[in-house]
Structure 1
Amino acid sequence: MTMSEVAQMTVDFTREAERCRHELRVHCYRLLGSFDEAEDLVQETFLKAWRARDTFEGRSSFRAWLYRIATNACFDVIDRRPALAVAEGVPTADVPWLQPFPDALLDAEPDAEVVARETIELAFLAAVQHLPARQRAALVLRDVLGWPASETAALLEDTVPAVNSALQRARVTMRKHLPQRRADWSGEPNPREKAVVRKLVEATERCDMELMASALREDVTWTMPPQPERHSGRDAVMELCASVMVGPGAFGEWKVVRTWANRLPALANYARKPGEELFKPVALDVLRIEGDAIVEITTFPSDRFPLFGLPATL
């Protein structure tokens, strides 16, 4: 093969692979729940595919071939992880590797299919993490991506009956873990949800505990991956908020920048201590709202701010 032919092969491979980058990243993210690991595995997928390019025989599409490599790479990660406790309604705190996915990146590719809220929301991702690897892949490939059973079986190198069986078991487990009112979710925030977000922003910036409490449902939960903490109930959540917003342990003044993660409203919180000039990053809160109240807050460390394009200081 001449140098020019090698160069053209490289160009063709890169072009075809890059067309799949976005969807492969979302696919790996759904399987793993970790944005950082999904990013790494897409790169690993491309490297493995390039090294094995001579073995691609065209029996499936190039896209399906990349999906097989990416899925198997995800299986390797899943196999190395500790098993999660099996219980109904397990909160996001029980998935220490869970990370948010910025909506800006979900929508970055102009030709990419719209990622539906119910297939990327944190509650869905946390539930998926409780499935064995092959059930997890069967669910994502069949129910989320809409692959036929035959193509899914080919990717997993299994039979159609085995894939259908894995899918049914996965669906049963998912029903145990997903919020009961999940079917009521809409693709866009409604006016009541927007009002709740505005109320929480105002309450935070004013350190108004009474107003903040009014934005929370009585059974609200607050989790903070990767920390194994779960605060349940409005009183417990308000006690935590008060510890950093009022009294001797207060962080100082607060400012909030609104953003979006996993098709949910998210708030980037900044605080300025007494005597300091700038507001510094504290944490990113992703909100799940039902009706006119917040039912779940998932807080992520401020190291996620750069990924969301958020300023280092205010």
Structure 2
Amino acid sequence: MTTDALEAARAGSGTAFAELVEGHRGGLHRHCYRMLGSLDDADDLVQETLLAAWRGMAGFDGRSSVSTWLYRIATNRCLNAIRDGRRRPPSEPVPPFDPPEPSSRSEVTWLQPYPDRTLDPQDRLESRESIELAFVAALQRLPPRQAAALLLVDVLGYDTAGAATMLDLGPTAAKGLLQRARAATGGLPTSPEPDAGRARLAARFAEAYAADDVDGVVALLTDDAWLAMPPAPHIYAGPGPIAGFLRASATAHGAGITLVPTGANRQPAFGCYLGGAPVGVVVITVCNDKITGITRFLDPGLNRRF
């Protein structure tokens, strides 16, 4: 960013404004995604953020960096969207078969995966854990301001005083939000770097899953593994319930399943196709040499994003 570009943007130059904000677009998108848990909602909120910034550019006083100013707008736009009920759970899909009774039901049915292919080399320097599905899902269960405080401090690196200013709160209130959010989620998780073993495990999963080899899939699971299927609320916990669901599904779908490798939330993932038609995305969560979670996103519109 140059002073000339800033002054030109303040004077109404769209070209200068684009120069100021373009380098922040990816980070803003991931921030909105973490806040909202939805790719589609993140798309909308980034556009709202940049439109609000453009309209307010003449009044930007430069007391903070452009980056801080943009993240403050984005955070508060996301909080407004949640408050106004715009993050509504999608309709629950009706399966083409009678599934077994789930172990539990999730309230976070709007969760969507984040495509790794959209990350540029600089993006990849971010903490992998900050975009993993389990962390993003945990954020959705927090009160929105707690989630915002946690993201501003633990992910984006602002100090508590800076986060308080961005949230229009006093430092004590912001500190309290942060402490409660960390207590509820355990803070930003840590996990070992991926290795070749994870890739081999993903390949074995894909082979078994595509072949409807339920026993082969189950052999790769931990004892506490789970299967979730947003936007359906069903969760199957443990190898037995997961096997029961997979067998019921295999009996019903008939045509062969094809899995195409991709990456989501810096986790192994696959585009899922049934008889050649897109039927969603599968993301697996891996710990050491076992699969701890399978998230089968049932939205066929996601395939084009990957």
Question: TM (normalized to structure 1)?
Answer: 0.83
Give the counterpart of 1:270 among 269, 273, 285: 273
The question of whether the paired residues in 2 share the 8 Å contact of 1:41 and 1:73 is answered with yes
User: Conserved in 2, the CA contact under 8 Å of 1:287 and 1:297?
Assistant: yes
1:293 equivalenced with 2:298 (yes/no): no
Describe the SS at the equivalent of 2:296: strand
After TM superposition, the structure 1 = structure 2 runs for residues 223-302 of structure 1, keeping only pairs within 5 Å, are 223-245=228-250, 247=251, 249-272=252-275, 279-300=276-297, 301-302=299-300
Q: Any residues of structure 2 matched to 1:89-104 within 5 Å, and which? A: 93-104=106-117
Q: CA deviation at 1:192?
A: 3.2
The reply on whether 1:187 has 2:193 as its aligned counterpart is yes
Residue number in structure 2 paired with 1:25: 29
Where structure 2 has 5 or more consecutive residues not aligned to the other structure, the ranges are: 1-7, 90-102
Q: How far does residue 266 in structure 1 lie from its aligned partner after superposition? A: 0.7
Q: Are the counterparts in 1 of residues 32 and 75 from structure 2 also a CA contact under 8 Å?
A: yes
Deviation at 1:186, TM superposition (A): 1.8
Report the alpha carbon displacement of residue 29 of structure 1 after superposing the two structures with TM: 1.0
**Residue 237 of structure 1, CA deviation:** 1.2
Residue type at the aligned position of 1:104:
R
CA contact (8 A) 2:227 2:294 kept: yes
Q: Distance in 1 between matches of 2:54 and 2:228?
A: 40
How far, CA to CA, are the matches of 1:270 and 1:213 in structure 2? 21
Overall identity of the aligned pairs, in %: 37
Shift in Å, 1:113: 5.9
Name the structure 1 match of 2:162: 151
How far has the Cα of 1:83 moved from its partner?
A: 10
Once residues 124 and 15 of structure 2 are traced to their aligned partners in structure 1, the CA distance between those partners, rounded to angstroms, is: 25
Alpha-carbon separation, structure 2, partners of 1:119 and 1:187: 13
Q: Distance in 1 between matches of 2:293 and 2:111?
A: 15
Structure 2 match to 1:127:
138
For 2:254, the aligned partner's letter is F
The alpha carbon displacement at 1:243 in A equals 2.1
Separation in structure 2 between the aligned mates of residue 92 and residue 142 of structure 1, nearest angstrom: 31
Q: Which amino acid aligns with 2:176?
A: S
Q: 1:75, CA displacement in angstroms?
A: 0.5
Task: Describe the shift of the 1:91–1:154 C-alpha distance in structure 2 as closer, same or farther (beyond 3 A).
Answer: farther
Counterpart in the other structure of 2:175: 164
1:208 corresponds to: 213
AA matched with 1:305: N
Cα deviations by residue, 1:143-169 (Å, 9 ceiling, x for unpaired): 111112222222112222222121111
The alpha carbon displacement at 1:252 in A equals: 2.1
Contact 2:105/2:233 (8 A) holds in 1: no
CA distance in 2, matches of 1:235, 1:54: 61
In structure 2, the CA distance between the partners of 1:91 and 1:60, relative to structure 1 (3 Å rule), is: farther
> What displacement does 1:36 show?
0.9
- 3-state SS, counterpart of residue 46 of structure 1: helix
Change (3 A) 1:228 1:205: closer
Q: 1:11 to 1:191 in 2, by over 3 A?
A: closer
Deviations 1:11-60 (A, max 9, x none): 11111111211111111111111111111111111111111222211111
Cα offset, 1:111, TM superposition: 4.0
SS at match of 2:279: strand
Give TM-score, length-normalised by structure 2.
0.85
Instruction: Note if contact 1:25-1:39 (Cα within 8 Å) is conserved in structure 2.
Output: yes
2:303 aligns with 305
Matches of 1:111 and 1:296 in 2, distance apart? 28
Q: 2:18 aligns with which of 14, 17, 23?
A: 14
Give unpaired runs (5+ residues) of structure 1.
85-89, 273-278, 309-314
Deviation, 1:93, is 3.3
User: More deviation in 208-217 or 133-142?
Assistant: 208-217
For these two proteins, the number of residue pairs brought into alignment is: 283
The aligned amino acid for 2:66 is F
User: CA deviation digits over 1:87-145, x for unaligned, max 9?
Assistant: xxx9893211111100111x23x444623221111110111112222211111011111
**Letter in structure 1 aligned against 2:61:** E
Contact 1:93 1:224 in 2 (8 A): no
